[in-house]
């Protein structure tokens, strides 16, 4: 039986405990998960792609079944290049589903051999998103329970806070 590889793409700006929750469960389903940081120059990010890759690597704790990389362009094309049979997407609330459903249908149209697997985040992570984390931190709120230590430290450095 061949290795079942999944691609878990995203911006991960910064990586949150919600991202890690989805990744942990995806690695229970697939033999290998490639976490792919999207490099999108038209999107304004707080962290560079290289910084986001480092945050992910620091946060996955050496999981041998997880690889971290970057990509530009179509997700299904990158999935094909890494040999993925599936794209993993995390869902928090029903509004996530509408956008993800559209992307899934387009991806299926572009490459019907690559399937999308939706994983619901754990209840404790439903309210967590990278954008909310950045905003709460920027306004002085505590975020340590919502992000791994590497992300918390990176946010402190970016905003020059103790």
- Expressed in percent and rounded to 5, the helix, strand and coil fractions of the chain are 45, 20, 35
Fold of 5-158: Rossmann fold (3.40.50)
Q: pLDDT tens-digit profile of 97-123?
A: 888 899 999 999 999 999 999 999 888
Tell how far CA 112 is from the center of its chain.
22
How far are the Cα atoms of 89, 126, 130, 150, 160 from residue 17, in angstroms, in the given order? 15, 10, 10, 11, 22
Q: pLDDT tens-digit profile of 55-108?
A: 999 999 878 899 999 999 999 999 999 999 999 999 887 777 888 899 999 999
| Residues with active-site annotation | 19, 43, 92, 130
pLDDT at 162 over 60: no
The ranges assigned to domains in the chain are: 5-158
pLDDT of amino acid 149: 96
* Rounded Cα–Cα distance for residues 162 and 157 (Å): 8
User: Can you tell me the mean pLDDT for 136-151?
Assistant: 94
Q: Give DSSP secondary structure letters for 2-17.
A: ---EEEEEE--TT--H
> pTM, whole model, 2 decimals?
0.92
Give residue 161's pLDDT band: very low, low, confident or very high (50, 70, 90): low
pLDDT at 153 over 90: yes
- Among 83, 77, 96, residue whose Cα is nearest residue 34: 83
User: Can you tell me the mean pLDDT for 141-155?
Assistant: 95
Tokens for 40?
A: 């999108």
Contacts for 79 with CB less than 8 Å, ≥ 6 apart: 7, 86, 87, 111, 114
* Rounded Cα–Cα distance for residues 103 and 120 (Å): 17
Question: Taken in order 71, 146, 29, 64, is the CA torsion positive or negative?
Answer: positive
What size, in residues, is the chain? 162
Q: 32-38 and 5-10 as β-strands: parallel, antiparallel, unpaired? A: parallel
């Amino acid at each position: 039986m061949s290795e079942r590889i999944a691609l878990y793409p995203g911006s991960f700006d910064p990586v949150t405990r919600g991202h890690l929750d989805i990744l942990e469960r995806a690695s229970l389903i697939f033999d290998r998960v490639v976490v792919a940081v999207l490099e999108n120059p038209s999107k304004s990010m707080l962290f560079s792609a290289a910084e986001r890759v480092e945050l992910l690597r620091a946060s996955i704790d050496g999981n041998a079944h997880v690889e971290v990389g970057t990509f530009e362009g179509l997700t299904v094309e990158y999935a094909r290049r890494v040999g993925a049979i599936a794209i993993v997407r995390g869902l928090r609330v029903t509004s996530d589903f509408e956008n993800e459903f559209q992307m899934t249908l387009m991806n299926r149209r572009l490459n019907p051999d690559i399937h999308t697997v939706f994983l619901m985040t754990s209840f404790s992570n439903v309210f967590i998103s990278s954008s909310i984390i950045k905003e709460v931190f920027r306004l002085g709120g505590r975020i340590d329970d919502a992000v791994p230590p590497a992300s918390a430290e990176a946010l402190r450095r970016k905003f020059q806070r103790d």
